[in-house]
Amino acid sequence: MNSPTRIVSAIVVLGLLALVSAASAGAPTRTLKHVGRPVAAVAMDGARVAYVSDDDAVHVWNIQTGAIVQLKAGAGHYMDHPITPEVAIAGTRTAWITVTVNGNSRETTARLFARSPTGRNRGVASAFKTDGYDEGGIELWNGNWLTGLVGSQNVLAVSTWTTKSKSDETGMTVSNERLAVIDVAGRLRTIVTGPNAIASAASAEGRIAVLRQTGNIGIYSSTGTLVREIQPSSAQQIALGGGRLLVLTGERTLEVYNSATGALLHTWPIHTSAAWMQAGNLSVYGRIGLYFVDPRRSAEHLHLVDLATGKELVLPATQHVWGAKDATLGARGLVYPVNTYHFGAHPTQTGTLVFVPTAKLLAMIAAS
């Protein structure tokens, strides 16, 4: 649960955009939006895409109209601290978390902000924790957590809890677990408490999926009603959308569930050449799933999967930020960034958001 670390390197942009162009001529064309700074994190709800640039600015891009609205000003240049690793959007509301880390004890302050429909930014909550180690070098955190920011269809949710080192330094205790929604006034309203409340990991159709510490998954309504419980074989990461729950397992597979009934529909292998797997980005909407793993590498490949057939399309390397959600699927299609970095006598850094409609995605996968 460390704060994300930014990783910067050069990437090949032309190959990626050429591949996006290679789908069937009858499908809708892609949309490119040049947004200036490189993009660190994205979230989508309907036609609206919230994104964070690497100078910690927050914007919303409407893929239907092409308009961009700035919600939070950035520094105008790459920023280490504070960073904004999480962003979520739900209808006309947007929320984001900034994280600041200082000192050898890694004093970490997380702050949650929300943008109201009236256009006002409001500080919603904050949390502070410090880092330490036991005699065996195991990391021990003391303090409060604020993470798991998710959103869809007017529902924004987040998880909070407290950890404390045991007196004999053999581990940590966890307490004050809460799953909360952000109301339209910009206040937290707790809907679930206890160990089953953390941590929120995905949201769709106004419901919130929680990947619990026990390894099972709870799907809750916006009022806290437990709609469905699902027990995967194992779970490293989950995604929810379009009537599907997608689970990245420790066995290097994708388990596809009907989110309404809990039925397991398919199990497909994932493909990675890494000796060990680190969860990176997982997204789903209906028939299409997206994953990449091993985010400690500076360049990743986006894997698009037809969840009905298991057929997979691999897009070339994209630049991303370690731990950030920098590609997302929604009802309309896929959004992902293409960032370029040039470190020479005249350094330049630029970002482009790419939107590919669902019909074109399916055509691309079928033709692969």
CB 264 within 8 A of CB 278: no
Please state, in angstroms and rounded to a whole number, the distance separating the CA atoms of residues 3 and 172.
18
From 1-15, 37-51, 123-137, the region with the lowest mean pLDDT: 1-15
- Asked whether the predicted pLDDT for residue 25 surpasses 60, the reply is no
Region at 199 (left for phi over 0; alpha for psi -120 to 50; beta for the rest):
beta
Ramachandran angles phi, psi of 147, nearest 5°? -160, -175
Mean pLDDT value across residues 255-268: 98
The set of residues, in sequence order, having a beta carbon less than 8 Å from that of 303 and lying 6+ positions away, is 270, 271, 290, 291, 292, 312, 313, 314, 315
- At 8, is the pLDDT very low, low, confident or very high (cuts 50, 70, 90)? very low
More confident residue, 159 or 318: 159
> How is 245-302 classified by DSSP, letter by letter?
EEEE-TTSEEEEEETTT--EEEEEE-----SS--EEEEEEETTEEEEEE-TTSSEEEE
102 three-class SS: strand
Average pLDDT value for the chain: 85
Please tell me the chain's helix, strand, coil percentages from 3-state DSSP, rounded to the nearest 5.
Answer: 5, 55, 40
- Mean pLDDT over 138-142 rounds to 84
Phi, psi (degrees; rounded to nearest 5) at 197: -85, -15
Whether 10 contacts 318, CB under 8 Å: no
This prediction has a pTM of: 0.87
Distance CA 20, CA 335 (A): 12
DSSP 2: P
| 136 SS3 class | coil
Least Cα distance to 192 among 230, 148, 236, 231 occurs for 148
**C-alpha distance from residue 124 to each of 80, 99, 184, 188, 204 (Å):** 23, 14, 11, 7, 22
237-258 per-position pLDDT tens digit: 999 999 999 999 999 999 999 9
User: Contact at 8 Å (CB) between 134 and 185?
Assistant: no
Rounded-to-integer distance, Cα 288 and Cα 354, Å: 17
Return the CATH number of the domain spanning residue range 13-367.
Answer: 2.130.10.10
Query: Tens of pLDDT along 88-119?
Result: 999 999 999 999 998 877 899 999 999 987 88
